[in-house]
């Protein structure tokens, strides 16, 4: 019975781990913002700019349609 109670208890997060978690969440948020910004910029590029980058209009539109949380 004591083992079951141990498993059901909510674990406490030590302060160092919670700081690490907050840092990781902040980094994830920054990455999501970067992806969203990059996709907005990609959406407005002209065909010549896309061609210079070696990207087709179809590939660009596929990338632009992805949600920000998908790589």
Name the token pair of 13: 């997060």
- Domain parsing of the chain, residue ranges: 35-71
Task: Decide if 36 contacts 68 (C-beta within 8 A).
Answer: yes
pLDDT in tens, the chain (71 residues): 555 555 667 666 666 688 899 999 999 999 999 999 999 999 999 999 999 999 999 999 999 999 999 99
Name the token pair of 19: 């700081």
Cα(63)–Cα(21) distance, integer angstroms: 29
SS3 percent helix, strand, coil of the chain, rounded to 5, is 75, 0, 25
Closest by Cα among 49, 30, 34, 69 to 60: 49
Q: So what's the pLDDT on residue 40? A: 97
């Amino acid at each position: 019975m004591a083992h079951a109670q141990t498993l059901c208890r909510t674990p406490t997060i030590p302060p160092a781990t919670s700081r690490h978690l907050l840092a990781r969440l902040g980094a994830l948020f920054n990455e999501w913002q970067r992806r969203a910004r990059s996709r907005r910029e990609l959406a407005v590029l002209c065909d010549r700019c896309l061609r210079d980058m070696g990207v087709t209009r179809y590939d660009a539109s596929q990338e632009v349609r992805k949600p920000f949380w998908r790589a």
